[in-house]
Amino acid sequence: MERRFGNTLPLLHEISHALHRLQVEGTVTTLDLNAVPFGPGDERQLVDFLGRGEVSAKLEAMGDSHIRESRYSGVWIVEHWNTSGERVAFQIEITKLPALLEAQQEDIAESLLMLQAALENARNGASV
């Protein structure tokens, strides 16, 4: 039986080209899969083809976000759900590290202040 790929095969070619751009130029690419007119089974076929890599993360902020590396290093599957449980974003990110996993500058600054205060308290005899 012949396997049909519908929009899956063109997407896989785009992912391949994007991965090449990442390797050669450092160019990051995000593909919005919500904008792709998937036929029956196309989405599942794409996800199955990409497989699972070694890294995955779940964020819980204004809904859930699931980020997982595919079996192809640098190709990430990113899904976001709102607080009602509806998927609001479905993307493939071709990058070394998805932006959602990078610490934000404001959070780093706040954490530094918190750590310095905790160290000051410890220096003054508070338990660590």
Over the stretch 61-93, which tens digit does the pLDDT of each residue have?
A: 889 999 999 999 999 999 999 999 999 999 999
What are residue 87's DSSP bridge partners? 81
Edge to edge, the sheet with strand 64-69 lists 29-32, 87-94, 75-81, 64-69, 56-60
Q: What is the mean pLDDT of residues 35-58?
A: 93
Nearest alpha-carbon partner for 83 in 57, 65, 105, 106: 65
Question: How much is the pTM?
Answer: 0.83
pLDDT-based confidence at 2, cuts 50/70/90? Answer: very low
